[in-house]
Structure 1
Amino acid sequence: MIDIKNLHKSFGNNEILKGIDLQINKGETAVIIGPSGSGKTTLLRCINLLEIPNEGSIAIGESKLVFNGNKKISNNEILELRKGTGMVFQGFYLFPHMTVIENIMEGQITVLKVSREEASKKALKLLAKVGLLEKKDHYPYELSGGQQQRVAIARAMAMEPEVILFDEPTSALDPELAAEVMKVMKELSREGMTMVVVTHKMSFAREAAHKVVFMDDGLIVEAGTPQQVFENTSNERLKQFLSIVDD
């Protein structure tokens, strides 16, 4: 499903990703953990081509791009790879002038070119899935942060991506609201949605991940099942990180 090989990304002279190799199978939830500045979010943004890697390759499903600092990637190539992904950010980025259901319909109509009737039908189904059907005609400012993030997840799902990328989806939320969002994400994981999740929530990684990836200083230091990473690691840097993480 996702195959990343020898991925490098620098900003000026600052090398953030230093040769990432990562494979994620269809239906897996991969959770990326690590200290701040380790390259987690940059890796996620490279997968979605919000940042263009300097070197290496990314394949998502049948689409693949090879990066070389001297070769310009075209907009069509970016769109071809990106259409297989949905992204849920730290901030919710809902359209403030649109209702909840309109937010979920918009991409379907403008990008997928489906009818308003079909878009509405899918939006209602997804709102029921995330437990917000009764909020369909509300505006974002009328929702809690947890509710807004659940709408953002529904919006990403409406585009029928092969994989959904989550960048610290609960970091701006208090524990109760974060639990609402995590509940939806765990359900998606159980249903076999392919997901890549950057988070500081170790409890989510333990409970929902098929694969846990520990990054430090731009490298993948260890990757394995939750049991391997949390209980059986022999890596001292990972042990140190886990000893100071409170969730």
Structure 2
Amino acid sequence: MINVKNLDKAFGDNHILKSVNLQVNEGETTVIIGPSGSGKTTLLRCMNLLEIPNGGEITLGEVTLGFSKNKRLTEKETISLRKQTGMVFQGFNLFPHMTVINNIIEGQVTVLKRSKDEAKKKAELLLEKVGLAEKANSYPYELSGGQQQRVAIARAMAMDPKILLFDEPTSALDPELEAEVLKVIKELAKEGMTMIVVTHNMNFARDVANKVVFMEDGIIIQEGTPEKIFNHTENDRMKRFLNIVG
């Protein structure tokens, strides 16, 4: 589904990603964990080309893009990858001046060129799916944080992505609101949606992940099934991290 090879990213002299290799299979949920500043979010943003890597290669479906310091991507290349990914941010990023349903309609009409009627039907189905059908005509400021994040998930899904990328989707939420968002993500996992989730929630990683990836200092230290990572790791750094976060 998505294959990352030797991915590098630096901001000036700050080398964030160091020859990262990662493969995510179709229909699987990969959860990325690790201490703050380890490169997790940057890796996710590179996969969606919100940050352009300095080196390496990303393959998503039939699209393969190579990167180097001297190469600039064309708009066509950028769109070819972005159209296959949906991004859910920790800060929701909804349009505050639009109703919930219009937040979900907007991208479908402007990017996918769907008719407004078709986009509205899709939006209504997705709002029902995330349990917010009754909030269609509300504005973001009228919603709780958990509700806003569920709208953000519906908006990402409306673009029919091949893969959903979640950047710490519950970090801004209290435990009760976190639970309602994680419930939606767990349902998507059961349905076979391909997902990469950056999170600090170890219980979620244990319950939902097909594969857990532990990052530190811009490299992948270890990856494997939740059983291997949480119960049978022999990596001392991994053990210390799990002892701290539980």
Under a length normalisation based on structure 2, what TM-score does the superposition of the two structures give? 0.99
The one-letter code matched in structure 2 to 1:182 is L
Secondary structure at 2:35 match in 1:
coil
**CA-CA distance at 1:72 after TM superposition:** 1.4
Could you tell me which residue of structure 1 aligns to residue 205 of structure 2? Answer: 205
Deviations 1:59-111 (A, max 9, x none): 11111101111111122211111110000001011111111111111111111
Distance between the aligned counterparts of 1:72 and 1:124, measured in 2? 39
- Runs of 4+ in structure 1 off by over 2 angstroms are none
**CA-atom RMSD in angstroms:** 0.6
Could you tell me which residue of structure 2 aligns to residue 145 of structure 1? Answer: 145
Distance between the aligned counterparts of 2:114 and 2:52, measured in 1? 30
Could you tell me which residue of structure 2 aligns to residue 229 of structure 1? Answer: 229
Could you tell me which residue of structure 2 aligns to residue 134 of structure 1? Answer: 134
Could you tell me which residue of structure 2 aligns to residue 36 of structure 1? Answer: 36
The one-letter code matched in structure 2 to 1:124 is E
Deviations 1:133-162 (A, max 9, x none): 011111111000000000000000000000
Task: Give 1:73-112 correspondences, 5 Å limit.
Answer: 73-112=73-112
Unaligned runs of 5+ in 2: none
Under a length normalisation based on structure 1, what TM-score does the superposition of the two structures give? 0.99
Deviations 1:36-56 (A, max 9, x none): 010000000000011111110
Could you tell me which residue of structure 1 aligns to residue 196 of structure 2? Answer: 196
Could you tell me which residue of structure 1 aligns to residue 166 of structure 2? Answer: 166
**CA-CA distance at 1:14 after TM superposition:** 1.0
The one-letter code matched in structure 2 to 1:174 is D
Distance between the aligned counterparts of 2:186 and 2:132, measured in 1? 17
Could you tell me which residue of structure 1 aligns to residue 59 of structure 2? Answer: 59
Could you tell me which residue of structure 1 aligns to residue 216 of structure 2? Answer: 216
